[in-house]
Amino acid sequence: MELAGVFKTSASALEAQRQRMNIVASNLANVHTTRTEDGGPYKRRDIAFQVAPMDTDPNSLNNGVKVSEIVEDQTPPTLIYDPTHPDANPQGYVAMPNVNVIEEMVNMMMASRAYEANVSAFNISKGMYLKTLEIGK
């Protein structure tokens, strides 16, 4: 793997984890959203990654990561009895988003740790590159 490939791989992973943190933040921000433009409560979103070639050469081993899709969780909403809520159905139940705050916080911590690990890998690669340049002096 060439040196630029190491930096491209780390950069692609940083971008993917940044997008993952944005999705988690959106889920947390909408934990109580009972009415959306589509009608009904907010649906939790999740992100899927895939390997992405960094070069046009098919024999290159420079691979990174990219977001392949953002999917809506199909888990049904939680029904809470609250007949005073403006979005309550005729029986008095409100459909709440299928967002679990604890699960989202764990996802945020995992994305944050993965982001930190990629920053470390980038910095270590940069340090090795600089040391290599010093050898040539």
Digit-coded pLDDT (tens) for 42-63? 999 999 999 988 776 766 677 8
* Residue 106's pLDDT band (cuts 50, 70, 90): very high
Q: Is the pLDDT of residue 122 over 60?
A: yes
Q: Is the pLDDT of residue 136 over 70?
A: yes
* Residue 2's pLDDT band (cuts 50, 70, 90): low
Residue 135 vs residue 45, higher pLDDT: 45
Counting the structural domains of the chain, the total is 1
Q: Which of 52, 50, 49, 54 lies closest to 1, judged by CA?
A: 54
* Residue 4's pLDDT band (cuts 50, 70, 90): confident
Q: Is the pTM of this model over 0.75?
A: yes
Q: Which residues pair with 66 in a beta bridge?
A: 50
Provide the pLDDT for residue 3.
Answer: 67
Q: Are 17 and 118 in contact, with CB atoms under 8 Å apart?
A: yes
> How would you classify the pairing of strands 78-81 and 93-96?
antiparallel
- Any idea which of 56-60, 76-80, 82-86 has the lowest mean pLDDT? 56-60
User: What domain range includes position 65?
Assistant: 3-135
Q: Is the pLDDT of residue 1 over 60?
A: no
